[in-house]
Amino acid sequence: MDPEQYENLGLIEGDKLIADIKKQIAKIDDELKKGKRTYMEGPNQRTITLNVFSPERAAVLEEKAGLEQQIKDISVALSKKAREYKPLAGFQTDLAKTEAALANKYKTVAVPTESKAPTGPSPIETKATTPTETTEKVETTPTPTPTPKAIQPTAPAPGVPSQKDWVDSQLELRNLPDTPKNRKDLATEYKNSKFKPLGDNWVDEFNKKFPTLGFLFTNPEFGPEVLAIAKKAVEQQWYLYPETAQALIAREIANTPYGQRSSAKQEAFDKKTEADQQVDIAQKVGELQKTYGKLGLSEADWQQIGRTAARNGLDDTLTQQKMLEFVYQKNPEGSLRYENAVKQLESGKLGQEVRKAYGNYFITPDEDAIEKYATGKMTLEDINSQARTLAKQFYPALASMLDQGLTVKSVADQYAAIAASTLEMPANTIDMMDPKFRAAFDVRDGDKSRTMTSGEFQTLLKTDPKYGWQYTKTANQEAMDLATTIARAFGKVE
């Protein structure tokens, strides 16, 4: 972004634009806190999860950073506009008064300059952030204000809190209103206080003062920003106010990168001891291995899978999906990273579920159907729906029955029972996908297709030699009975 692209904005227009952007940022903060984003895609409502380290959450954080940068750029542009602002003489309309107020509001925003570096003491810099809203009355004719003399601040000794940080913290710890008087009184108290520089044992001191927060030092998820807060809590003696100290620590952590990217379930997991975390991880891994076996994955792989499931508080269904997504990872060139594990999955329960769904409709599964099912891109209901649609094209005579909830297999089983009885064969040896049996599904009456009646099917089985009915006991008995009847007719048999 570049402030120059906003140079044509008016003060009122620019201020309104900043307010709108702040609303967008507030909405994003709420989405990050809830760990999900809901939006409309055409007529349908979609929801995406914003898990830790996920590309979706990274994209949202990047979107927020872009909006914050827009606010800074607009503020700088409005600051230039405010410095050039000249109020109209005479009667002031409400619009003119609003512009004058905004000019006063934005002229204090720091504007980047290309001036040479000063040779004397450097003045305190004003942070280029959006000024807070003001309701104070602004004179229509501004009076020049003298430029304050630059002050060189005295830096606190190493390990000693700065006055501003200390005062800000004390206001919260003591639940004091943020008023000039309270700040003045606390500043006096700060100057009269004797702070001891922190030693190397500050972590031990923290654990002693905050015994329930020791987990901050055992979990790498928190990062250096969280450790800096723990250090500040000791440095500024927050432990003197135990009723409010932990709440302040929690609020400070919420503003760190860790707090912005973590959900409540993840934070709850991170607060556990390493031993308790391992219990949760082992439980998740045990449940998965009971269902799918070890799949040839390493202990480190299973530890990663279990940790993801336990830390995110996933239920059984989502835990299985995360494991399957892990197994189906691909190398940069497109090959499967865990090929042997995939083969075991597809030959086991997972593959059987997909093959059974397609098999119920006498359809061959797509090559990637099992992977889509495993990685959550298709549900079993999706697979059944797809197989049903294909079956209606392959077996048009069965379309109406399939629409009523029957499967091709349930219809075929009835014909298989007739064939088994007629041909004197076990029912499980009748393959209704064999074209000679599948003929029962496709009788042409002109341009229409229908199924055979049971009588038509029995006649076909008995009259077409390829079915082998002539070799059955019934056929032989009927032949012998016929021969006896003929013999009697000619007087050959008494």
Residues 310-339: tens digit of each pLDDT:
988 887 878 888 888 888 888 888 888 888
Burial track 87-103 (b if 16+ CB lie within 10 A, e otherwise): beeeebeeeeeebbbbb
Angle at 12 between CA 8 and CA 14, to 5 degrees: 50
pLDDT at 311: 85
Q: Is the confidence at residue 426, as pLDDT, over 70?
A: yes
Nearest CA among 239, 245, 213, 240 for reference residue 226 = 213
pLDDT at 281: 93
Q: Helix (H, G, I), strand (E, B), or coil: what is residue 134?
A: coil
pLDDT at 3: 58
Q: How far apart are CA 96 and CA 388, in angstroms?
A: 70
pLDDT at 150: 40
Question: Tokens standing for 111?
Answer: 């504007």
Nearest CA among 432, 428, 429, 426 for reference residue 457 = 432
Split at pLDDT 50, 70, 90, the class of 127 is very low
Q: Mean pLDDT for the chain?
A: 79
Split at pLDDT 50, 70, 90, the class of 51 is low
Q: How far apart are CA 369 and CA 383, in angstroms?
A: 8
Phi/psi at 17 (5° precision): -65, -40
The average pLDDT across 354-369 equals 87
Q: Helix (H, G, I), strand (E, B), or coil: what is residue 164?
A: helix
What are the pLDDT digits (tens) for 190-232? 888 877 777 778 888 888 888 777 777 776 777 788 888 888 8
pLDDT at 388: 92
CA dihedral 288, 291, 296, 297 (to 10 degrees): -10
pLDDT at 188: 92
Question: Tokens standing for 346?
Answer: 């597809």
CA dihedral 331, 336, 341, 345 (to 10 degrees): 140
Query: Could you give the residue ranges of the DSSP H alpha helices within 35-179?
Result: 55-84, 94-106, 163-173
Split at pLDDT 50, 70, 90, the class of 279 is very high
pLDDT-above-70 percentage for the chain = 83
What are the pLDDT digits (tens) for 133-160? 333 333 334 444 444 444 344 445 555 7
More confident residue, 169 or 94: 169
The average pLDDT across 446-467 equals 87
- The domain ranges of the chain are 3-106, 163-270, 274-387, 403-488
Q: How far apart are CA 25 and CA 66, in angstroms?
A: 10
Q: Which of 54-68, 140-154, 217-231, 372-386 is the least confident region?
A: 140-154
